[in-house]
Structure 1
Amino acid sequence: FAIGECACVDGRVHGLVAPGYAMATLLAERLLGAEGRELGAADTSTKLKLLGVDVASFGDALAGTAGALEVTVNDPVAGSYANLVVSDDASTLLGGVLVGDASRYALLRPLVGRPLPGDPLAMIAPAGPDSTTGAGVGAVGVAALPPDAMVCSCHAVTRGAIDTAIGESGLTTVAQVKGRTRAGTGCGSCVPMLSSLLAESGVTVNPALCEHFDVSRVRLAELVRTQGITTFSELVSRYGRGRGCDICRPAVASILASHGNGHILDGEQAALQDTNDAFLANIQRNGTYSVVPRIPGGEITPAKLIAIGEVARDFDLYTKITGGQRIDLLGARVEQLPAIWQRLVAAGFESGHAYGKALRTVKSCVGSTWCRFGIGDSVALAIQLELRYRGLRSPHKIKAGVSGCARECAEARGKDIGVIATERGWNLYVGGNGGFRPRHADLLLTDVDADTLVRTIDRFLMFYIRTADRLQRTSGWLESLATATTRPSLGPDRTGTNGLDGLAYLRAVLVEDALGIAAELDAAMERHAATYRDEWAGVLADPERLRRFASFVNAPDTPDPSITFVTERDQPRPVLLPLPTTVPAPRADDRPGASAVTPR
């Protein structure tokens, strides 16, 4: 058997996910003994991004049907092109192509083969209303979709299936709809429509962060900022209830840290941190921790390389070069962390924040300094950006890349922030990431100078921190800006931004100051850059903070006996011991007050 791009079906190879899933379903049926059903016509609708430009096609995109008519709108000012293919009597939608602005794709694609819900010209005219809201004459809204219309072609989920799931299961969030129906978990192009379907179903979307707060993370961040709140207890007493949970406590800890609320291990803040932030290190599967010093832009001196090597040798740590141009030291026990960092800080290193929801790395190529193709000093810019944004706490981790030319050796377009040198300046890309659903970044600015570039990145990060949901990457956040119903509530829309797609809306806010908050965002980033202090240096200088780095309270220098290593390829590697199935009976020397040690 063969499926996907290695299968030639009726003389055609489909390079799309939906036909691949259809083949997989048919293959599963054959393996289970079902015969007779054929693959049928594949859904070749798709939405792509080519060199930063949205491109979408659906149905009979090239007007191959006999007698088909084409309705075309070409707007060179806005940089968009739309072409709808309709039947010879202009009553049925057959297909179409969208270039530049593909925001109508999610709603037009399910209507292929169905009666037109309005004037085809009004459906694609740039001067028309926001197509995602369904408001106004000629606009296409979710109300036009019949129950059997395919909303998610990747997983063959219809509008009726989504409506049924919402009604029967009481779904109130897009995440719940995804989990129940799988819609939106493929290419993601239908995600904006899921919010509209929730609203269309008459469901009151629950914004609550958790059972202790009835408001969203965005609203809590706004309250912390505007009310000058500095502790979790004050926030929960004024706007919540109870003592918090593993959802709201780390979220509030991140919000407080984002607003420069002192060292994260001081006072009440220390109790809010999750495992990684609590020990300023990433816990590994065997209970040890990783140490990742910051190496801005990947540039490091021989002396610092030697220092890292000596630390790894003396503490018997596993070492690995990461994908973000860092050196990862793994296998450190919690009581070893201060001693390791004492030597690293003395050698000139600081925390790389690999454990935090913060800026992780700014990857760079060697740029114009060394590369014969380089046209921009990518290393210098990467170092500048990393030192400016280091320690910036955010809703999720942030990764950046700077490439010295279009050959893209730093893979900038796969990062939350991507910068690529051009002959006339820098191109800025935003909203890319890897993970479970990789996404290429969108082109936000073209050929700008370094000052404009940094100022725009400042605003992008601060706007993201203020308005993103809990644990929402910049990719998902940018997609959530696609419709007016899912954009952050920042007061009246004074400049007509409700008619813009997500990227245009972001450009209006950050570049054109459409919401009048650019000065606030600029000032917030300047405060962060001016007040940054290395977290590990702060721990080493404070005996009270150092007390928490012990495996056992009454025997701080005792290693955890469950951590075992073997040597493989001349490196220490952990041995995972099986968990006991029964609790052993207490021995005589395990009495309280004897020589046993007490776990923290």
Structure 2
Amino acid sequence: MTRTLVIVGHGMIGHRVATDVLAQDTAGEWRVTVLAEESRPAYNRVALSTYLGGRAASALSLARPDFLEDPRLDLRLSTPAVAIDRDSRTVKTSDGSVVGYDALVLATGSRPFVPPVPGHDLPGCFVYRTLDDLDAIRAAAEGAEGRPGVVIGGGLLGLEAAGALRKLGMKVHVVEMAPRLMAVQLDQGGGDVLARMIRELGVEVHCSAVTETVEAGPDGSVAGVRLADGTLIETELVVFSAGVRPRDDLAGQAGLRRADRGGFLVDNRLRTEDDRVWAVGECAAVEGRCYGLATPGYQMAKVVVEQLLAAGDTDSVFDGADMSTKLKLLGVDVASIGDAHATTPGAIEYVEADPAGGTYAKLVLAEDGRTLLGGVLAGDAKPYPLLRSLLNRELPAPVDQMLAWKP
């Protein structure tokens, strides 16, 4: 008997669930209905900045023709879910349709956090999340070459947005409340190197800076950003990229529990308290914790698919994820590995910095002085693949030799 899987959301992780179920369901047990909020099928959000650099939207698409043409797939674009009835096992959509399910996977992702400062909703304020957002930013930046643009937020997404505005020819200011850029991934030394190098590219960096207001001009649109210290950055374009919040709006109406900090609360099998309802990706709070990178989301998708396709019980669980990451931001290589902030009791930090050369490296070792717990690299991330492979293992050579390794 054919069963129906409904996936709410068609971002990168929801798409992975759909494609893997269809590819691995050789017995034809499942039909898959995907309720997508956007008008486009899933695309690569990690590469959004390349779109403003001239890459076509079609090149970012994750939906291959064989997926879109699969007769077992019912992909409904521009049709977000608005309510879940767990008793009748149905989902109501924005167009009034009611879709029944045997299994339901919530993959609603996250939404940009916009600080509630006065003026945050003025014309000229944007977020950096979807292709439609980027189209709006591009239109607003037309003819603005050489003029200032402000990004509120100096984390990963904020620096991606800064790089995008720079590609559009704007003079970019990054405003970050923390004392360093990428405060989640980098320590102060790494953040300082990153800030120095992107300043050399012409990007103004304002750390330990609190946005007080977005000020309007005579026409009612953005004219500037006022910081708490009185500094006024004149601009007609502001991009808020100050983090994200899990999209768990359906939880309250459906009677599903949320974690204390938001997100659908799930166990390590990604199941809610309803054993027919799972959550994956940025909207899932696995035993209370949300994961904001694509790789953990793909791991979650794998766990759920294995449960859906298992003939009997499966031991597949999500045991957390390695949040190590290597990035190139505004042309600068940075990497964060394991316990980058040395929070492990007894941890030892080994730092090697070359301010003149624009590089910084830190390894975090266990109290035995040999086991690698984490690290930070900025300016030169060539040792990253080797160091990541050695995480929680004893180093095979002295620290200075490990940091000098080149692939």
Per the normalisation by structure 1, the TM-score is 0.21
- RCO (CA 8 Å, sep 6+): is it higher in 1 or 2? 2
Per the normalisation by structure 2, the TM-score is 0.30
| Larger strand fraction of residues | 2
